[in-house]
Structure 1
Amino acid sequence: MAELATFEALAVRYGTRTTMRSEVFLHHHLYGETDSPIGMDYYFWVVRNERRTIVVDCGFNERSGGARGRTMLCPPPEAMRALGIDPAEVTHVVVTHAHYDHIGNLDAFPTARIVIAAEELAFWTGPYAGKRLFAHSAEADDIAVLRRLVSEDRVDQVRGHTQLVPGVDLIEVGGHTPGQLVVCVRCKDSLVVVASDALHYYEELDLERPFAHVADLPAMYAGFDLLRELTAAPGRLLVAGHDPEVMHRFVPVAGYESLAVRIA
């Protein structure tokens, strides 16, 4: 039986915080605007069909989130089970990048293949990951888990544009981190583009406002151009990585309206 090439895509909101606009937009003072509060939500994404379940990122854990003052709404493994997902049956976990809020629960998936850009893995296991401007966004314990999974031959490294499975493509864009990935998912009537942290907020794209934490600024701008290209045609849906607007743009999952939305 041929694998179904269309999927359902969900965004799951597991955490939140309130911060200031000057903390999230690079060189915010250049825009001549008064600083003001802004919400930041934390998500992971589920891509599934009758054959497989793929999780895109897996959130922060209670220790790393608590240490940074983040509000945990529902621990990601618990959120998955609430939505009928057994982490033990997840086939792939796509790590879009290795920041603490995206790889904090890798040990919850005992059999999944872990998929990450080779450039991303090389950076976080290389000599510059410990520099303060990078290290503050990562957790040594999480990177140690990633290293262990590599040693156990459970990590697949990708480069450029890769088909993960029919209907799911990974595109390496860099920018926010050296190997930041975007995930494109073929759903029944649409193409869903999960930007993850290639686009934290929709206004980054609308107003050309890069996020504050960036490894390669020209690559981040090029990533914005790619996201525009990917979503220019009708039936293309763009999902930002941390924008509270995600919970309003898409359809709430019945019974779990504050936890998850169905993108397509």
Structure 2
Amino acid sequence: MTNRITIVQYGTRQGTKSDVYLNWPIYGRPDEPIGMDYFFWLVDTGEQTIVVDTGFSAAGGANRARTFLVQPREAFAALGVDPASSPEVLVTHAHYDHIGNLDLFPSSRVTMARAEWEFWASGMATRRQFHHSVEDAELAELRRIEGQGRLRVFDDEAEIAPGVRMVRVGGHTPGQSVVLVDTADGRVALASDAVHYYEEYEDDVPFAFVADLPAMYAGFDLLHRWEEDGTVRHVVSGHDPSTLDRFGRIADGPLPGLTARIG
């Protein structure tokens, strides 16, 4: 299998565990500082590059006091991603830090779960806790993409390329999806925000912002089953600061210290 994954860190912030975990005081653990790193992912199939999420925009980061380590536009360019080649773009869910730069890919097909698209397109987000999680301009861009016929939606699973598949798990958002990638080092689950932190996943400590708590727990269970039965060898978190080191932070290259590779 020729698929290779590049994990790219483009931003960071600092918070506390009571900020990021749901009902943290009930666990009887100290409220410690915790970092949150921001990633997007690239899948090189040998024939094409698939972009998984696009990071937060300059406006989205500034509105939330996030720190850029590299602008996503510059990171894509440094890693050889040419928007003019119309790379496939996969959206794991439609929060600001995952769809903030869709406009960099004006001719790409964009794939996301139907439940995610319908939630945001219906206006339900304006009546629920998620209204703060996306910029108006980003929702407008999604609608523009849909209007141009470039949006592909799926119900439960979608085959993207040989050895690359999206699976909707829900939980964090209605259409939260993971991307399964077969590599030379085994199948990898790009969990995105189905698993923000490894502590969250390993200790069943849900993230603070959740659309469907039972579905979030079910997502943890599914990923654990996949690991236990060998379906998945590696789970890649969406925000854990240990992620790059777990998979081998690359010290040189075009983005020194900001990437890791699998496969």
Query: TM-score, with normalisation over the residues of structure 2?
Result: 0.95
Out of 226, 234, 248, the position equivalent to 1:251 is 248
Question: Matched residues in 1 for 2:219 and 2:28: separation?
Answer: 25
Q: Does 1:23 align with 2:19?
A: yes
SS at match of 1:121: helix
Letter in 2 for 1:241: G
- CA drift of 1:161 comes to 1.8
Per-residue deviation, residues 60-114 of structure 1 (Å, max 9, x unmatched):
0111101100001111121011122223224211000000000000010122110
| 1:75 alignment partner in structure 2 | 71
Q: How does 1:55-204 map to 2 (within 5 A)?
A: 55-204=51-200
SS at match of 1:35: coil
Question: Matched residues in 1 for 2:45 and 2:121: separation?
Answer: 34
Q: How does 1:26-45 map to 2 (within 5 A)?
A: 26-45=22-41
| 1:205 alignment partner in structure 2 | 201
Q: Does 1:216 align with 2:174?
A: no
Structure 2: stretches of 5+ with no match in the other structure: none
Question: Matched residues in 1 for 2:144 and 2:217: separation?
Answer: 34
Q: Which moved more, 1:48-57 or 1:80-89?
A: 80-89
Q: Does structure 2 conserve the Cα–Cα contact (< 8 Å) formed by 1:53 and 1:90?
A: no
Question: Matched residues in 2 for 1:92 and 1:131: separation?
Answer: 32
Q: Does structure 2 conserve the Cα–Cα contact (< 8 Å) formed by 1:40 and 1:244?
A: yes
Q: Does structure 1 conserve the Cα–Cα contact (< 8 Å) formed by 2:180 and 2:189?
A: yes
SS at match of 1:143: helix
Out of 234, 238, 242, the position equivalent to 1:241 is 238
Letter in 1 for 2:212: D
SS at match of 1:40: strand
- CA drift of 1:234 comes to 8.2
Q: Does structure 1 conserve the Cα–Cα contact (< 8 Å) formed by 2:2 and 2:46?
A: no
- CA drift of 1:235 comes to 6.8
Q: Does structure 1 conserve the Cα–Cα contact (< 8 Å) formed by 2:54 and 2:100?
A: yes
Query: TM-score, with normalisation over the residues of structure 1?
Result: 0.95
SS at match of 2:245: helix
Question: Matched residues in 2 for 1:90 and 1:224: separation?
Answer: 33
Question: Matched residues in 2 for 1:72 and 1:104: separation?
Answer: 13
- CA drift of 1:132 comes to 5.0
SS at match of 1:252: coil
Q: Does structure 2 conserve the Cα–Cα contact (< 8 Å) formed by 1:15 and 1:70?
A: yes
Q: Does structure 2 conserve the Cα–Cα contact (< 8 Å) formed by 1:93 and 1:115?
A: yes
Question: Matched residues in 2 for 1:75 and 1:87: separation?
Answer: 15
SS at match of 2:200: helix
Q: Does structure 1 conserve the Cα–Cα contact (< 8 Å) formed by 2:185 and 2:262?
A: no
Alignment RMSD = 1.4
Letter in 1 for 2:135: E
Question: Matched residues in 1 for 2:86 and 2:26: separation?
Answer: 44
